[in-house]
Structure 1
Amino acid sequence: MHSLLITGRLLSRALWNGITNVSTATDPSRQRKTEPQLVSAVCGFSKRRKIQRLIKGQFGDDAWFTAKYKTADVLGSSTACVVILNKENSTLYTANIGDSGVMVVRRGKVIHKSEEQQHYFNTPFQLSLPPPGYQQEVLSDQPDSAITDNFPVEDGDVILVATDGVFDNLPQSLILNELVKVQGERCATRLQMVANSIAWMARNLSFDETFLSPFSVNAFANGIDTIGGKPDDITVVLATVAI
């Protein structure tokens, strides 16, 4: 049985093949004086309410896994968001399946935000490998169901890649207020501080039972009377484009 990791790689490979096709179509004689680079930081928390020590590079539980043996089979499901920067043409290529996502901010404005994919409320598209005999009972989407996009980036652009634990608990205005703080930032330490801040806010509001979160707003729109945040996996990957 192929592991879920291999299934995820198919999504990355399909996106990369598209980038390769675009790259080979450009003039090979054209030389760039400088290539864009990404300065990045990561932070995250699990769903557990117990406060965790903040660790640089930590991800939420749903965002990664390890297998004891390299040959181990992995069962389960996951949303996926893949972002690749093509340095040859300064273009960002994205593929997103489910309710994780990517947001890009330029000069204080959101210029790109990935589209969420849901079968129905609180049931996102996802790559899955169900246990044998349960294939018909489990929603299972294919990598080619992902929404793909590409657009040119500029020096100073801010890129946020995050799980639904961020977008379900933080209104876009709060996220934007944090992202503008690192416009054009080239210091990884500063990026880490803002990544930590976004993750902390999302985590704290997820346990606030009185907060009118984006998740509760969407719940109301779907006929569900609820209020408060949504405790969930929280992972933040924050980067800026430096040219």
Structure 2
Amino acid sequence: MVVVLQGDKGELCSANIGDSGFLVVRDGSVFHRSEEQQHYFNTPFQLSLPPPGTNSQFLSDRPESAETLEFLVKEGYMLMVATDGVFDNLPDSMIIKEMVKVQGSTDLSLLQQAANSIAQQARKLAFDEDYMSPFARNARENGINAIA
């Protein structure tokens, strides 16, 4: 995942491969969310070089497979870049709730607190066997019962 913000142009440029991603929030709502790239459920695109002689036995993706985007952003938009550990465990609504708490802030300690809160919530819910996470919902939609 590479995200570049060209402030002078007001342009966000990204290249993303796999299941990490980013979320752009405007006025408390999702303005843009990157798409996961998967071959099939729970098998994300990955940059790799299979061992010689095994090419047909491994999924291997090249940098050219990355989804590239360019779009305009304005002052006040918020950007969060995260791994699948966050997006698999927290719905956008929970992430946005924490992000809007620091809307417009340039206080690095407040921004760090929001990031810590998001990470802690994701970790806590990852171990909650009764929680229907976004990942568990996707698993169920693919015929896999992720919660006993």
Q: TM-score range by the shorter chain?
A: over 0.9
CA offset at residue 152 of structure 1?
Answer: 1.4
Is 1:145–2:43 an aligned residue pair?
A: no
The one-letter code matched in structure 2 to 1:155 is E
Q: Structure 1 stretches of 5 or more lacking a match?
A: 1-80, 229-243
1:45-60 equivalences under 5 Å are: none
User: Where in structure 2 are the equivalents of 1:189-228 lying within 5 Å?
Assistant: 189-227=109-147
Mapped partners of 1:188, 1:130: distance in 2: 41
SS at match of 1:111: strand
Moved over 6 A (4+): none
User: 1-side partners of 2:26 and 2:75: how far apart?
Assistant: 9
Deviation at 1:136, TM superposition (A): 2.6
Q: Distance in 2 between matches of 1:227 and 1:113?
A: 26
CA distance, structure 2, for counterparts of residue 188 and residue 113 of structure 1:
24
Find the residue that maps to 1:127 and give its secondary structure.
Answer: coil
Q: After superposition, give the CA deviation of every residue in 1:69-106 in whole Å (9 maximum; x if it has no partner).
A: xxxxxxxxxxxx11001133121101111111110011
Distance of 2:55 and 2:110 partners within structure 1: 46
Distance 1:119 1:190 in 2: 38
The superposition leaves residues 23-71 of structure 1 with CA deviations (integer Å, 9 ceiling, x where unpaired) of xxxxxxxxxxxxxxxxxxxxxxxxxxxxxxxxxxxxxxxxxxxxxxxxx
* 1:1-243 matches, cutoff 5 A: 81-227=1-147
What TM-score results when the alignment is normalised by the length of structure 1?
A: 0.58
Give me the whole-angstrom Cα distance separating, in 2, the residues matched to 1:103 and 1:161. 7
Q: Show CA shifts across 1:147-194 (max 9, x none).
A: 111111222221000000110000111111111111111111100000
SS of 1:128 mapped into structure 2 = coil
Q: CA deviation at 1:204?
A: 0.9
**CA shift for structure 1 position 219:** 0.6
Q: Distance in 1 between matches of 2:15 and 2:146?
A: 32
Pick the structure with greater CA Rg. 1
Cα distance in 2 for partners of 1:171, 1:227 equals 17
Tell me the number of residue pairs that the alignment of Structure 1 and Structure 2 aligns: 148
RMSD of the TM alignment (CA)?
1.3
Q: Distance in 2 between matches of 1:153 and 1:186?
A: 17
- The whole-number CA distance in structure 2 between the counterparts of 1:135 and 1:115 is 26
Moved more, 187-196 or 121-130: 121-130
State the Cα distance separating 1:131 from its structure 2 match: 3.2
CA distance in 1, matches of 2:36, 2:25: 18
> Contact (CA 8 Å) 1:213, 1:227: kept in 2 or not?
no
Identity %: 59
Inter-partner Cα distance in structure 2 for 1:184 and 1:135? 49
In 1, Cα distance between equivalents of 2:69 and 2:107: 28
Q: Which amino acid is 2:103 matched to?
A: Q
